[in-house]
């Protein structure tokens, strides 16, 4: 009974769906290199059927990993960005020079 109600809602809005056309969502993760192709097998569709594919970009990184402290993260960032180490005297000198240059 519920399927009939949903179908009538679509028809009332002017959207006519073929009864043979069933909407299904299937999630498959596939890693594809740039400029190459991906072939996805074992899908529950018959050959030659029309499907809609939505391509989603990579998931963003979520900051700190499990068990990683802020200090470990800072050290890895310093290594990756090649930020030089400064002593407190050197930092004071840089700040003092920048304040003098401002006027």
Q: What per-residue confidence (pLDDT) applies to 93?
A: 94
pLDDT in tens, 82-95: 999 899 999 999 99
pLDDT in tens, 28-54: 888 888 888 888 888 888 888 888 888
What 3-state class would DSSP assign to 58? coil
pLDDT in tens, 50-83: 888 887 777 766 666 677 788 888 888 899 999 9
What 3-state class would DSSP assign to 27? coil
Judged against a pLDDT cut of 70, whether residue 22 lies above it is answered with no
d(CA 42, CA 40) in angstroms, rounded, equals 7
Q: What per-residue confidence (pLDDT) applies to 99?
A: 93
Arithmetic mean of pLDDT, 5-31: 58
Q: What per-residue confidence (pLDDT) applies to 62?
A: 66
Distance of CA 79 to the CA centre of its chain: 25
């Amino acid at each position: 009974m519920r399927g009939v109600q949903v179908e009538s809602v679509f028809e009332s809005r002017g959207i006519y769906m073929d009864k043979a056309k069933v909407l299904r969502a299937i999630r498959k993760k596939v890693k594809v290199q740039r400029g190459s192709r991906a072939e996805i097998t074992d899908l529950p569709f018959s050959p030659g059927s029309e499907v809609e594919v939505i391509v989603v970009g990579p998931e963003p990184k979520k900051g700190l990993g499990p068990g990683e402290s802020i200090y470990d993260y800072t050290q890895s960032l310093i290594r990756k960005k090649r930020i030089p180490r400064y002593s407190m005297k050197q930092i004071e000198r840089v700040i003092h020079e920048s304040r003098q240059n401002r006027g």
